[in-house]
Amino acid sequence: MASAPEELKFRDPQKARELTDALAREVELVGHSPVSVMHVCGSHEQAIARFGLRAAFPRGLDVIMGPGCPVCVTDTPEVDEAVALAAQGARVCTYGDMLRLPGTSRSLADAQAEGGKVEVVYSVSQAVDLARQRPAEQVVFFASGFETTAVATAAVILAGVPENFSVLSSHKYVPAAMDVVSEMKETNIEGFVAAGHAATITGYGIFEPFAKRTGTPVVVAGFEPLDVLAAVLELVRLIRLGRPEVVNCYPRCVTREGNRPAQEKLWRVFDVVGGNWRGIAQVPRGNLELKPEWNRVNARHRFRIDTAAVGGASRNVLADQCICGSIMSGLAKPDQCALFGKECRPETPVGACMVSSEGACKIWHVYGGHPDLQEVA
Amino acid sequence: MAGEKVALKHGAGGRAMRALIEDVFLALASPVDGIGLSALDDGAALRVGDRWLVVTTDSHVVHPIFFPGGDIGRLSVSGTVNDLAMMGATEPLGLTCAVILEEGFPRADLERIRDSMLEASREAGAPIVTGDTKVMGRGEVDGVVLNTTGVALADRVVTDAGLRPGDRIIVTGTIGDHGMAVMTRRHQLGLEGDLRSDVAPLNGLVRAALRAGGEGVVAMKDPTRGGLASVLHEMAGKAKVGVVLREPDVPVNPEVRAACEVLGIDPLVVANEGKAVIGVRPEAADGVLAALRAHPLGRRAAVVGTAVAERPGQVILDTGMGRRLLAEPDGEPLPRIC
C-alpha cells in the first residue's frame, strides 16, 4: 500500500488516543473541574465536531467556541448598509455566507429576491472583474472575514481597482475576539486556542501582550484533529503549570513574525477601529476599516447610504428567542437554544450562527447536533 | 401547506423527500397481502401462491446523460435490477422500458443509450420485455427521461426493516464513486482524475450473499441518493435500533476522498449506483463477507457497523478519534464553491 496522504498523518486514530489519554491525565492534575478553554475559530469547531472530539475529551474539560465566526459577528447595521446599497442600485458582491445574514428587516438574499443586484463571489478579484466588465455600474464588495481575507482585499486595492469599484468593509480583527471574552466577567476562560490561519499572517508574537496582560496562556493550533488535540493538551499543561505563555503548536505554517509582506499590505490599507459585534458588545479594536487615504474606494465615503429606508421595525418573535449572542460569548451551547434544529435550521436560519458555515450552530447541526454520546457502549 | 412548491431537495433522497412522499403519496396506500406502498421500501412484494412477486419502478434523469463509468441507459437497467435485488429478488423475469424524448434529441445518443441498456440487461440476465416511447416538444422535457419497471419472483423477501441490536452492517464496496463522478462532470470542476461511476447491476452479487447468509441476511438497501448516511438512517428508523458506523472501516477510493475533501462533501452522503448495504446476523457476517469478496463487484466489501439498542433511529459515527451523531442528509450535496 502507498504511504498515507499528508493529511492522514494528522488523522491517525492511534495518535489521537494517546493524546486524549494524556489530556485526561493533564486535566486531572489541574485539580479543579471543569477546566474551561476557548477557541475562536469556526474551522477549529469544524474539526472538533466533524471528528467527534468532544466525546473523546475528558469529562472535566470544557472546550468552548468563542466569537470565531467573522460572518456571525457582522452586525445588523452593517448588513443594512449592504442591503441599502443594493436598494440604491449598486451591484453588491459578497461571499456566500453573507447572503442570508439577517439585517434589521432584510438580508441580502431578500434584497436579491426583490430584484437587487446581489452577486456571490469566491474572491475579491472576481468582484473587481465584474466591475471591469460593467463600467456603467457601481460595484461594491461587501468584505467579510478576519485578517486572512482582509489581506486579499488589501492586495487587490493596492494593485489598483477600477473607478466604479468600492469596498464596504466588515472585516474583523482576531486578537479582539479574545480581548472581548477575557473582559467578560461571566466567563471563566483559563486558556485560548488561537487560529492558525490568521496567525500565519500576523505571527504568534501578536498574542504575547495579551497573554502577559491577562495572565492567560494562548496556544496556536492547526486544523486537523491531531493539531487540535495536541494544542488543547499543551494549553491544559500551561494552565496546570500556571504559565501564561504563547506556544506555537502549528510550526509547519506559523512563525513568530508571521508573513511580513502580507502584514505590510494589510496595514497600508486598513486601520483597526472599534465596532459593534452582533450579539456581543462594542469591541474596541474589533473591526478593520479602510484608512482615510483609501476613502475613494470606501463605499461608506463614496455613497450616502440610506439605511433608514431598509430598516423598519419588523421584529420577529423567533429572533427574540435566539441566543446567538450568548453562544458566541461562550456562555451557552447551541443545543441549549430552544430553536436549535427545530425552527432554526440551515435552510431556515433564525440567528447568524446558523447562517455561516463558520457558525457554531450550523457546525453543530451539520455534524449531528449533539456532542455527548456517553451512553452508547 | 397552501402555496408551497416542490423544491429540488424533495427529490434528493433525504429528509425532505421522505416528508413529501409521506405527506402526499402515502394516501394512495391500501392494505395488500405482502409489502405495499406503506412500507416505503425499494419495491412491493405481493403473495402469489407460496412465492412472492416483487415489483419495482424507477424513473431516471441524470445530467450529464453520459458520464465516466456509465450513462443513463446503464443506470436505468441497473437501478431497477438493484431495487429488485434489495428485496431479495435476484432473478428478474423482465424489465419494461418507457422513454420520453425531447424534440431534437440526437438519434446517435439514443442508440448509444440503447446499447448500454442491452449490455446491462445481459449482465443482469434481465430481458427488456416491453416498452413505450413518447416525444415532447422542445423545452417540455429535458433531453431524455427513462423509466424502467422490473418484476421478479422470490421465495423469501428481505426488507430494509429487519435489523436488531447486535446485527452487523456490511457495505459491498467503496462508496461515493457514482456521485462524485457525476458531480465533478456536471459542475465542470476539472477534478476528474480517475473518478468513475460504479453503476452496475448487483443481482449476481446479492445472490451470492443470500446463498452464503440465508436467513441471516435480514436487511438490504442500495445507497443511491443520500448515500450510506441516508440508508442507515432509514434502516435504523424502520427497525427502531441505533446504528454505530465506524468511519475508518468504510471503504472509499482515494480519488473520491480527495475530491470530497476539496469540495467539502462527506462521502457518506454521496450517491452510489453499484453498492448494497446489507444487515446480517452476527453469526452470518463472516460467511456473507467472504461470499461478497469472492464476487468481482464485492472485492472491497467490509463490515462497517453494528446495530445497537441505544438511540433508536439514529446513526452514531465513530470517527476513530471520537464519536458524534450523523445528520440525516437533507437535499442534494453541493460543492462548497457553488
pLDDT over 80 at A144, yes or no: yes
pLDDT over 60 at B244, yes or no: yes
Residue-wise pLDDT for A155-191, tens only, equals 999 999 999 999 999 999 988 888 888 888 788 899 9
Closest CB from A5, A347, A367 relative to B324: A367
Single pTM value for the model: 0.85
User: What residues of B are in the A interface, CB distance below 8 Å?
Assistant: 9, 242, 244, 248, 254, 258, 261, 308, 310-311, 316-327, 330-331, 336-337
User: For residue A239, what are the contacts with CB-CB under 8 A and spacing of at least 6?
Assistant: A30, A35, A37, A190, A191, A217
Closest CB from A11, A52, A225 relative to B317: A52
Rounded CA gap, A61 and A32, in Å? 10
**A334 — contact with chain B (CB < 8 Å)?**
no
Give the per-residue pLDDT at A265: 97
Rounded CA gap, A109 and A220, in Å? 36
Residue A123 buriedness (CB in 10 A; 0-12 / 13-18 / 19+): middle
- Nearest C-alpha of chain B: how many angstroms from A155? 22
Q: Compute the mean pLDDT over every residue in chain A, rounded to the nearest whole number.
A: 90
Rounded CA gap, B104 and B220, in Å? 40
Q: Extract the runs of DSSP E, i.e. beta strands, from chain B.
A: 34-35, 44-48, 51-60, 66-67, 70-71, 92-102, 128-136, 144-154, 168-171, 217-221, 242-246, 277-280, 302-308, 315-318, 323-326
**For A12-70+175-248, which CATH class?**
alpha beta
Cis peptide before B64 (omega within 30 of 0): yes
- The DSSP secondary-structure symbol of B26 reads G
* One-letter identity of residue B197: S
- Percent of chain A whose predicted confidence (pLDDT) is above 90: 67
Integer CA distances (angstroms), B278 to A269, B156, B240, B250, in order = 59, 15, 17, 13
Q: Which superfamily does B31-154 belong to?
A: PurM-like, N-terminal domain (3.30.1330.10)
Residues A191/A239, Cβ–Cβ less than 8 Å: yes
Rounded CA gap, B85 and B45, in Å? 12
Rounded CA gap, A55 and A371, in Å? 6
Q: What residue spans define the domains of chain B?
A: 31-154, 168-326
Rounded CA gap, A125 and A153, in Å? 8
Integer CA distances (angstroms), A352 to A74, A361, B120, in order = 9, 9, 49
Contact B321 A11 (CB under 8 A): yes
Residues B268/B326, Cβ–Cβ less than 8 Å: yes
The alpha carbon dihedral of A128, A100, B19, B240 has a sign of positive
Spell out a b/e string for B87-117, using b for 16 or more CB atoms within 10 Å of the CB, else e: bbbbebeebbbbbbbbeebeeebeebbeebb
Contact A373 B326 (CB under 8 A): no
All 3 cell numbers of residue A28? 486531572
Residue-wise pLDDT for A248-268, tens only, equals 999 999 999 999 999 999 999
Residue-wise pLDDT for B4-62, tens only, equals 788 877 877 677 788 899 999 999 999 999 999 998 888 899 999 999 999 999 999 88
Give the per-residue pLDDT at A2: 43
Closest CB from A7, A357, A367 relative to B327: A367
Residue showing cell 452470518: B284
Contact A52 B323 (CB under 8 A): yes
Residue A309: pLDDT band (50, 70, 90) is confident
Rounded CA gap, B113 and B60, in Å? 12
Give the per-residue pLDDT at B331: 63
**A377 — contact with chain B (CB < 8 Å)?**
yes
Give the per-residue pLDDT at A182: 86
CATH hierarchy code of domain A76-171+275-309 = 3.40.50.11740
Integer CA distances (angstroms), B265 to A104, A326, A354, in order = 33, 30, 18
Rounded CA gap, A160 and A137, in Å? 18
Q: Compute the mean pLDDT over every residue in chain B, rounded to the nearest whole number.
A: 92
Which option is the CATH number for B168-326: 3.30.450.20, 3.90.650.10, 3.40.50.300, 3.20.170.30? 3.90.650.10
Residues pairing with B93 in the sheet: none
Q: Which of B121, B238, B228, B125 is nearest to B172 (CA)?
A: B228
Residue B41 buriedness (CB in 10 A; 0-12 / 13-18 / 19+): buried
pLDDT over 80 at A149, yes or no: yes
- Mean pLDDT of all residues in B271-280: 97
pLDDT over 80 at B92, yes or no: yes
Give the per-residue pLDDT at A317: 66
**A1 — contact with chain B (CB < 8 Å)?**
no
Residues A239/A192, Cβ–Cβ less than 8 Å: no
Residue showing cell 498523518: A9
* One-letter identity of residue B190: G
Residues of A in contact with B331 (CB under 8 A): 347
Pairing verdict, β B128-136 and A139-145: unpaired
- Nearest C-alpha of chain B: how many angstroms from A372? 8
Best of A18, A51, A224 to disrupt the B interface (most B CBs within 10 Å) is: A51
Give the per-residue pLDDT at B134: 96
Best of B324, B328, B336 to disrupt the A interface (most A CBs within 10 Å) is: B324
Angle at B97 between CA B92 and CA B99, to 5 degrees: 160
Integer CA distances (angstroms), B151 to A28, B49, B53, B146, B322, in order = 63, 16, 7, 17, 44
Contact B321 A367 (CB under 8 A): no
Give the per-residue pLDDT at B219: 97
Phi-psi map region of A324: left, alpha, beta (phi>0 left; psi -120 to 50 alpha) = alpha
Rounded CA gap, A218 and A193, in Å? 6
Integer CA distances (angstroms), B194 to B110, B175, B253, B267, in order = 26, 14, 10, 16
Residues A36/A190, Cβ–Cβ less than 8 Å: yes
Residue-wise pLDDT for A6-38, tens only, equals 556 788 899 999 999 999 999 999 999 999 999
Count of pairs with CB atoms under 8 A, one residue in A, one in B: 78
Q: What residue spans define the domains of chain A?
A: 12-70+175-248, 76-171+275-309, 317-366
Give the per-residue pLDDT at A106: 87
Contact B324 A52 (CB under 8 A): yes
**A186 — contact with chain B (CB < 8 Å)?**
no
Residues A369/A360, Cβ–Cβ less than 8 Å: no
Residues of B in contact with A225 (CB under 8 A): 319, 321
Residues of B in contact with A366 (CB under 8 A): 327
Give the per-residue pLDDT at A3: 47
Minimum Cα–Cα distance from A341: chain B residue: B327
ipTM, 2 dp: 0.80
For chain B, the first-to-last Cα distance in angstroms comes to: 30
Q: Which of A254, A245, A253, A258 is nearest to A219 (CA)?
A: A245
Quickly list H helices, chain A: 13-30, 42-50, 76-87, 108-113, 124-133, 147-159, 174-182, 196-202, 208-214, 225-241, 260-269, 299-302, 317-321, 324-328, 360-366
Cis peptide before A34 (omega within 30 of 0): yes
All 3 cell numbers of residue B113? 443509450
Residues found in chain A: 377
Residues of B in contact with A377 (CB under 8 A): 308, 310
All 3 cell numbers of residue B162? 429487519
Q: Do domains A12-70+175-248 and A76-171+275-309 have the same CATH topology?
A: yes
Contact B316 A373 (CB under 8 A): yes
All 3 cell numbers of residue A92? 453588491
- Percent of chain B whose predicted confidence (pLDDT) is above 70: 95
Minimum Cα–Cα distance from B312: chain A residue: A376
Rounded CA gap, A26 and A219, in Å? 16
- Nearest C-alpha of chain B: how many angstroms from A263? 27
Residue-wise pLDDT for A340-371, tens only, equals 999 898 888 888 899 888 899 999 999 988 76
Pairing verdict, β B51-60 and A281-290: unpaired
Closest CB from B244, B320, B325 relative to A368: B325
- Nearest C-alpha of chain B: how many angstroms from A105? 23
Q: Is A330 helix (H, G, I), strand (E, B) or coil?
A: coil
